[in-house]
Amino acid sequence: PDLHAPAHGSAPILVASNRGPLSFTVEDDGALSLRRGGGGLVSGLSAIDDPDAVWVCAALTEGDRTAARQAPSGRLDRAGHDTGGQHIRMLEIDPGTFARAYNGIANSTLWFVHHLLYNTPVQPDFDDRFRKEWVSYEAYNTAFADALAEEAAPGAAVLVQDYHLTLVPELLRERRPDLRIGHFSHTPWAPPEYYRMLPDDVAGDVLTGILGADRAGFLTRRWAEAFADCCVSVLGAAVERPAGGDLLVTHRGRTTRLGVHGLGADADFLRERSHRADVESRLAALREAVGDRRVVVRVDRTELSKNIVRGLLAYRHLLRTRPEWHDRVVHVAFAYPSRHDLPEYREYTAAVQRVAKEINDEFGTERWQPLMLHVQDDFPRSLAAYRLADVALVNPIRDGMNLVAKEIPVVSDHGCALVLSREAGAHAELGEDAITVNPYDVIATAEALHQALTMPTADRTDRCKRLAAAATALPPQQWFLDQLHALG
Ligand code: G6P
């Protein structure tokens, strides 16, 4: 080691997340091509004009690993890549360690726990394979903590994102007690009786990991309360609930503040982006396909928690019980590929496709295709469907927020009705003007679709205006700045 190297870096603001804002693909000729991603965090970070802010993320693809390896200390911007002016450090983590941490612990164990996805008579089974995955998750979190400790200027603010990085706050505090550390959960948080399925040491380590932060952020009060309940149940921590203020959790003499920041849709971006030529051409094609029929739209990752199969069954029930809709409605369902390394996701995708086919076989006619399912990711086509929607269907089993529920009312051309699961975080803000459903109740969801399809136009457009206003109350840039300011 260089004994003269400073024990800190120069970044006053840092963000850490598993998935970064860009990704590389190795082309056939061996060259790297770069693709920029979107999402709340990417737009949020654009609010920061500090030229020295650094984003630390993991190398996810073979192309990412190549790019990270070629860049000095994994700093892509220093290797001349067009990072859009951002300083990005991509961590090359041994592929086996990464797979065990990401697929095994993050996306199987923690995601399943927080979204209540286990089929409990057979899952989970915390065996020696799980233990190996957990050791990898610790190593992966340690790699992030080390990189952040290296990049951060004295007293810097560090914003750590999501369930992939729950151990980072505590690990980073051990390395750099001078830093101001925030953690943000983009998922729901499990209630204690479900959370305590985790082995006791793991359940405790995840909580104390996050409590290493000065502030732990959540998308709704409900998830913050659940986190606090778990701290009491697992750690015996003390919780204060000052009237009208943030929850405070005290454990081993340190207090962590729980903040609630309901990430909103990015209205300016969406309105501009949804009127570009690539969206217009897709909208024309969709219009041609659906004709003058009513349109029910859903757009999701093919994700177990999104409840796509029950949504399709509800649509089938609608067509079975209300034949007046035959040839008068089309369901446009986009279910984009996600996490296909996990067998549960591959099976779920197959189930979605099977039910979709059954519906078209049962009701389709020469002139009418009742369901249009697309599984190829296409963002401009999603926006075109948002514009066309008469009804938006968002029925997750459980969801941290669900931005689609917030985006469709902002973009829809003639005011859509929203059928919304009461288990989506967005329901806390949109519930009053949405039609609320219990996501497990297929018949009630079918009824809600009928109600949405028959809602009088004036009512629908009024509600949609209020939905759009609520959905955009906290734009991503402000969401991000609020968290930064709250760190002091
Ligand atoms: C959720 C998580 C994000 C994650 C995203 C996509 O929204 O909260 O952290 O990036 O899903 O999942 P993926 O595994 O593809 O990154």
**Ligand 1 mutation pick, 15, 17, 18, 19, max ligand atoms within 8 A of CB:** 19
Q: What pLDDT score does 5 carry?
A: 65
- For the four alpha carbons of 152, 153, 154 and 158, in that order, the dihedral sign comes to negative
ipTM: 0.98
**For the segment 41-81, what is each residue's pLDDT rounded down to a tens digit?**
888 888 887 889 999 999 999 999 999 999 999 999 999 89
Whether the CB-CB separation of 13 and 48 falls below 8 Å is answered with: yes
Q: Which 3 state secondary structure label does DSSP give 166?
A: coil
pLDDT at 7 over 60: yes
**For the segment 148-170, what is each residue's pLDDT rounded down to a tens digit?**
999 999 999 999 999 999 999 99
| Residue 393 main-chain phi, psi, to 5 deg | -110, 115
Determine the Cα–Cα distance for residues 384 and 231; give it in Å rounded to an integer: 44
**For the segment 430-452, what is each residue's pLDDT rounded down to a tens digit?**
999 999 999 999 999 999 999 99
Determine the Cα–Cα distance for residues 131 and 301; give it in Å rounded to an integer: 29
Residue nearest to atom 7 of ligand 1 (CA): 186
**For the segment 237-271, what is each residue's pLDDT rounded down to a tens digit?**
999 999 989 999 999 999 999 999 999 999 999 99
Q: What pLDDT score does 50 carry?
A: 86
Distance 7 CA to ligand 1 centre (A): 32
Whether the CB-CB separation of 197 and 118 falls below 8 Å is answered with: yes
Which of 229, 421, 411, 385 has the alpha carbon at shortest distance from 306? 421
Distance 59 CA to ligand 1 centre (A): 14
Distance 326 CA to ligand 1 centre (A): 37
Residue nearest to atom 16 of ligand 1 (CA): 19
Q: What pLDDT score does 349 carry?
A: 97
Q: What pLDDT score does 29 carry?
A: 94
| Closest ligand 1 atom, residue 106 Cα | 14
Determine the Cα–Cα distance for residues 443 and 421; give it in Å rounded to an integer: 14
Model-wide pTM > 0.95: yes
Q: Which 3 state secondary structure label does DSSP give 14?
A: strand
**For the segment 119-142, what is each residue's pLDDT rounded down to a tens digit?**
999 999 999 999 999 999 999 999
**For the segment 327-382, what is each residue's pLDDT rounded down to a tens digit?**
999 999 999 999 999 999 999 999 999 999 999 999 999 999 999 999 999 999 99
Average pLDDT, the chain: 96
- Beta carbon of 162 within 6 Å of any ligand 1 atom: yes
112, 119, 398 from 438: Cα distances, Å: 19, 19, 10
Determine the Cα–Cα distance for residues 57 and 66; give it in Å rounded to an integer: 14
- Beta carbon of 339 within 6 Å of any ligand 1 atom: yes
- For the four alpha carbons of 5, 165, 347 and 349, in that order, the dihedral sign comes to negative
Tell me how many degrees the CA angle 383-386-391 measures, rounded to the nearest 5.
165
**Residue indicated by tokens 């990189």:** 147
| Closest ligand 1 atom, residue 400 Cα | 8
- Beta carbon of 114 within 6 Å of any ligand 1 atom: no
- Beta carbon of 336 within 6 Å of any ligand 1 atom: no
Distance 48 CA to ligand 1 centre (A): 22
Q: What pLDDT score does 437 carry?
A: 98
| Closest ligand 1 atom, residue 161 Cα | 9
Distance 104 CA to ligand 1 centre (A): 14
Determine the Cα–Cα distance for residues 16 and 252; give it in Å rounded to an integer: 26
Q: What pLDDT score does 137 carry?
A: 98
Whether the CB-CB separation of 310 and 303 falls below 8 Å is answered with: no
Q: How confident is the model at residue 3 (pLDDT cuts 50, 70, 90)?
A: low
Distance 287 CA to ligand 1 centre (A): 31
Residue nearest to atom 8 of ligand 1 (CA): 186
Determine the Cα–Cα distance for residues 81 and 293; give it in Å rounded to an integer: 47
- Beta carbon of 115 within 6 Å of any ligand 1 atom: no
Instruction: Please give, one letter per residue, the 3-state secondary structure of 66-87.
Output: HHHHHCHHHEHHHHCCCCCCCE
Q: What pLDDT score does 42 carry?
A: 86
Residue nearest to atom 2 of ligand 1 (CA): 186
Determine the Cα–Cα distance for residues 197 and 320; give it in Å rounded to an integer: 40
Distance 484 CA to ligand 1 centre (A): 22
Residue nearest to atom 9 of ligand 1 (CA): 162
Q: What pLDDT score does 39 carry?
A: 82
**Ligand 1 mutation pick, 186, 306, 339, 399, max ligand atoms within 8 A of CB:** 186
Determine the Cα–Cα distance for residues 159 and 169; give it in Å rounded to an integer: 9
Q: How confident is the model at residue 37 (pLDDT cuts 50, 70, 90)?
A: confident
pLDDT at 84 over 90: no
Residue nearest to atom 14 of ligand 1 (CA): 339
Q: What pLDDT score does 399 carry?
A: 98
- Beta carbon of 187 within 6 Å of any ligand 1 atom: yes
Distance 18 CA to ligand 1 centre (A): 8
Element (H, E) at 237: none
**For the segment 167-208, what is each residue's pLDDT rounded down to a tens digit?**
999 999 999 999 999 999 999 999 999 999 999 999 999 999
CB atoms within 10 A of CB 343: 8
- Beta carbon of 186 within 6 Å of any ligand 1 atom: yes
